[in-house]
Amino acid sequence: MARVKPKRHGVVVDMTAMTDVAFLLLTFFILTTQFKKPDVEQIKPPSSISEKLLDDKDLMTINITSQGKFYFAPVNNFNERSQLLDIMGKKYGMTFSNEDKVAFFKTQAIGVPMNQLKGFLQMPEDKRKFAKISGIPQDSVNHQMIDWVSASLEINPEYKLAIKGDASTNYPKVKNLFEGLRDIEYYKFWLITTQEK
């Protein structure tokens, strides 16, 4: 005797709830993501085979351009940046207002000597991005770059330092920086590189 095949009914799945959840998650991630600010100048670091990723918590960064200009990006915390500005101001005989401290916090990286810093911070934010920047001095006579690192370590000795230098930077510039770090007895830092292909 032949079997009777039951009539097949199509399965209907209501996707409305899943679509709502997907868009809510997408909206949440878009609104809460903190995008990395672009570097002040284009820097092409040397390549290496290291695959170790650097945790950016409590990280201060020194950027060195191909022309040998130094930029310093302190830890991104308003209270700690305010303390840093006070320490540097005391060392160089300068005082900074609350407006200067807010401008300092909003600035990605500092790239001017101390005698130009107050004027730089008082510029409107849109002009500050396109201002002609000479870099922070770092040589055997004028070691302001090391003073920034040293003042940051006064605030929190647990800060980590990463150095991102251009592959075409002249070696004496980098050597001056390393010698300055040695002078303040700071020996552990990371070099930022790109992944070798």
Q: Tens digit of pLDDT for each residue in 23-46? A: 999 999 888 887 666 556 677 888
* Torsion angle defined by CA atoms of residues 40, 77, 145 and 46, in that order, rounded to the nearest 10 degrees: -50
Any domain includes 138: yes
**Does the pLDDT value for residue 131 go beyond 80?**
no
Report if residue 23 sits inside a domain: no
Residue 16 binned pLDDT confidence (cut-offs 50, 70, 90): confident
Mean pLDDT of 58-63: 89
Residue 25 lies in a domain: no
- Report the C-alpha gap between 144 and 82 in whole angstroms: 18
What percentage of the chain reaches a pLDDT higher than 70?
A: 95
- State phi, psi for 194 to the nearest 5 degrees: -100, 160
Q: Is residue 20 part of a domain?
A: no
pLDDT for 150 equals 92
Q: pLDDT at position 49, please?
A: 79
pLDDT beyond 70 at 100:
yes
Please tell me the total count of domains within the chain.
1
Q: Is 117 inside a domain boundary?
A: yes
Q: What does the pLDDT read at residue 151?
A: 92
CA dihedral 28→29→30→34, nearest 10 degrees, is 120
Instruction: Note whether residue 104 is domain-resident.
Output: yes
Q: What is the pLDDT of residue 38?
A: 58
Domain span holding position 163: 47-195
What is the model's pLDDT at position 1? 61
pLDDT score of 110 more than 70: yes
